[in-house]
Amino acid sequence: MFIALGTYVMKFFNEIGKISQLTRDTFKWMFRKPFDVKNIVSQMVHIGYNSIPVTLITSLFTGMVFALQTGLSLEVKLKGTSQFVGGVLIIALVRELGPVLTALIIAGRIGSSIAAEIGTMKVTEQIDALKTLATNPVHYLSVPRFLALTFMMPALVLMADFIGWIGGGFVSLAELKVPLLTYYYNSQSALRMGDVFSGLIKSSVFGMIIAVIGCHKGFQTEGGAEGVGKSTISSVVTSSMLILISDYFLTSFLNFALKI
């Protein structure tokens, strides 16, 4: 048992070391020429623009169900308090629901795609071919995806927050009979810029996590098509876990730093 536990611990720290090394190399190559702008823009379109439909649909119904459940719960506790649902919803969306749910969706859609793409290149020896052509794989593959996720995640989260808030407004009007002006003013009075900055900072960090884990799992792929499948699954699971774990520590730090 102790041998198995020791082996597991060694594998865990070995994995942490490889992820840290890839993160370091990504930052190092990020500022080195040539800057592959075309590749970066292509990744931004793939990661950001193509992810808009699934992100907005998820956010819309999240806002709707949150407004409904919160409004009904408030009415049960005290009659007339459902008018404050706008303030409760916007804070929940901007601080937590928007960044975390969007990150989990992108981890499933994009993180798996990155791991599968790079993993396929690894098992078909295309990465070895890049090295033969004096092209650094981290510079060519990791950096564009890292930058695209870092910058596109906040944009996706802003859209998700807005659409979720709009969905909550429709439910508040239709189901809870809260006037739209009341919903708007309660949301406006509850929201502060610190809340918005907190959500945007979280979303950028989550984007970095998805990019690094996806690329790492791709680079470590072995064993042909079966290995690609395992890397894809591992990328999604690991990214999702790290997003939820880091969310707690980011929340604690940002609440202190931004005084929210």
- Whether 258 shows a pLDDT value over 90: the answer reads no
Please state whether the peptide bond connecting residue 99 to the residue before it is cis, i.e. omega within 30 degrees of 0.
no
Q: What number of other Cβ atoms are within 10 A of residue 31's Cβ? A: 8
Mean pLDDT over the full length of the chain: 90
Q: What pLDDT does 1 receive?
A: 67
The full DSSP string for the chain is -HHHHHHHHHHHHHHHHHHHHHHHHHHHHHTSS---HHHHHHHHHHHTGGGHHHHHHHHHHHHHHHHHHHHHHHHHHSTTGGGGHHHHHHHHIIIIIHHHHHHHHHIIIIIHHHHHHHHHHHHTTHHHHHHHTT--HIIIIIHHHHHHHHHHHHHHHHHHHHHHHHHHHHHHHHTS---HHHHHHHHHHH--HHHHHHHHHHHHHHHHHHHHHHHHHHHT--SHHHHHHHHHHHHHHHHHHHHHHHHHHHHHHHHHHTT-
* pTM exceeding the 0.95 threshold for the entire prediction: no
- Whether 80 shows a pLDDT value over 80: the answer reads no
Q: Which two tokens stand for residue 18?
A: 């490889």
Domain ranges of the chain: 2-257
Q: Measuring CA to CA, how many Å separate 144 from each of 21, 34, 108, 126?
A: 17, 12, 19, 18
9-13, 136-140, 151-155: segment of lowest average pLDDT? 9-13
pLDDT in tens, 180-224: 999 999 999 989 999 999 999 999 999 999 999 999 999 999 888
31-35, 126-130, 185-189, 215-219: segment of lowest average pLDDT? 31-35
Nearest residue to 177 (alpha-carbon basis) of 39, 99, 249, 72: 72
Q: Which of 72-76, 162-166, 188-192 is modeled with the greatest confidence?
A: 162-166
Rg for the chain, CA atoms, rounded: 21
Which residues lie below 8 Å from residue 96, measured CB to CB, with a gap of 6+? 199, 247, 251
Q: What pLDDT does 64 receive?
A: 95
Mean pLDDT along residues 51-60: 94
202 and 247 in contact (C-beta within 8 Å)?
A: yes
227 and 116 in contact (C-beta within 8 Å)?
A: no
Q: What pLDDT does 157 receive?
A: 96
The Cα–Cα gap between 26 and 98 comes to 27
Q: What is the length of the chain?
A: 260
Nearest residue to 93 (alpha-carbon basis) of 132, 64, 131: 64
Nearest residue to 96 (alpha-carbon basis) of 164, 180, 173: 164
Q: What percentage of the chain reaches a pLDDT higher than 90?
A: 66
- Whether 78 shows a pLDDT value over 80: the answer reads no
- Whether 116 shows a pLDDT value over 90: the answer reads yes
